[in-house]
Structure 1
């Protein structure tokens, strides 16, 4: 069985300007606050300004880009509150996907999930580990067999790209994530929807804690946001 396509994966040169800009955001080549200058982007991607302009418009419609006075288009900065809300919603949506997959996934789909996680455990390259993690989540969402849920998760995932490279570039997080996947797989194999949802929520919340720590260490939270984090529930 072929592996599921990552809906926002790394892309070769032949893909659209929009896809390639999304990929640059994912990899941290375009960081929050970076101005998106059409001439520079067109030169770097080897495209005319027209597809670049359209790509920027699409990114703005997605909520990833904003227009600032006297500056033009730039990649948005997410506030602390937005990061909290996004991860809360991710826990809800992917938790629901896990619950549905416990009921709807075929045995073949469960074996595929196990194979992906086994590859992830063996991987020692951060970029490959992150790719396999995305593939695992994409396979689970497909196994839930709900097109509207899949669409909602895809929209949320695009916004999360603003945060840059995966938390799995942290080796300790990578090992823990694979263990969390294994616990989730146990619940799926038992066809226990409630347990699968709980374990997926725990998995997302663990990633959330690492993400907040990364943002703090990188100085990407303002003083007010840092204070809010220190007094918040985490």
Structure 2
């Protein structure tokens, strides 16, 4: 039973990652058979994973369509980013105060990887997630971490912006501003930089949405 549960967790993570990277698009119909074939497993762990993904809000059962990858409307996106700004700002503030030196060095090293020549979009996406996760861990607040983890699950429904225009470059610059404040243990500046980073991300996402509506 534990093996089946572990497999279901693995599938859950893989589906979440596929949604985040856009290889499983928003609104796409999902079935047990398709997911079992996609990951080369039986339908039993897939069924368990689907239940968890529905509980997380990543999959939705729609009348006449069946199970689909959930789609957030404009208001939900704005509300989600509002909470992200509050929580990530708090995480950066606490990390500046409480992080160990090795945690700050790790965040700085991850940020430096974004500027490495030849870094791929997939690698940038993974680095981006690791930077935010490391800051959340470095805040050393279990309740904040729990809230950020749940928020991150919902954020999986919003495809990465890093391939859009100059977002990869601007995001890397914003990360460097956060890291600089963290290394100086300037909690106020770290929170301000983290909040500015989230607001910039929301602006890019809204501009992308407007452009899609006009096409």
Question: Do they fold alike, i.e. is TM over 0.5?
Answer: yes
User: 1:133: which partner in 2?
Assistant: 128
Is 1:163 aligned with 2:124?
Answer: no
In 2, Cα distance between the equivalents of 1:66 and 1:145? Answer: 34
Distance 1:216 1:19 in 2: 30
Return the alpha-carbon distance in structure 2 between the equivalents of residues 15 and 76 of structure 1: 19
Unaligned stretches of 5+ in structure 2? Answer: 1-6
Residue 106 of structure 1 is matched in structure 2 by 100
1:48 to 38, 42, 48: 42
Equivalent in the alignment of 2:28: 34
The answer on whether the counterparts of 1:130 and 1:169 sit within 8 Å (CA) in structure 2 is: no
Distance (Å, rounded) in 2 between the aligned partners of 1:52 and 1:215: 32
Q: Tell me what 2:196 maps to.
A: 202
Aligned mates of 1:82, 1:14 — CA distance in 2: 28
| Deviation by residue 1:97-149 (Cα, 9 ceiling, x = unmatched) | 00000100122222221111111111532111121111111111111011111
Runs of 4+ in 1 over 6 A off after TM superposition: none
Quote the Cα distance in structure 2 between the aligned partners of 1:150 and 1:14.
23
1:1-234 aligned at under 5 Å gives the runs: 16-123=10-117, 124-164=119-159, 166-170=160-164, 172-219=166-213
Alignment check: 8 A CA contact 1:65 1:73 kept:
yes
Tell me by how many angstroms 1:171 deviates.
5.6
Q: Is the 8 A contact 1:36 1:73 kept in 2?
A: yes
Q: How far apart, in 2, do the equivalents of 1:218 and 1:161 lie?
A: 20
User: Structure 1 length normalisation: TM-score?
Assistant: 0.82
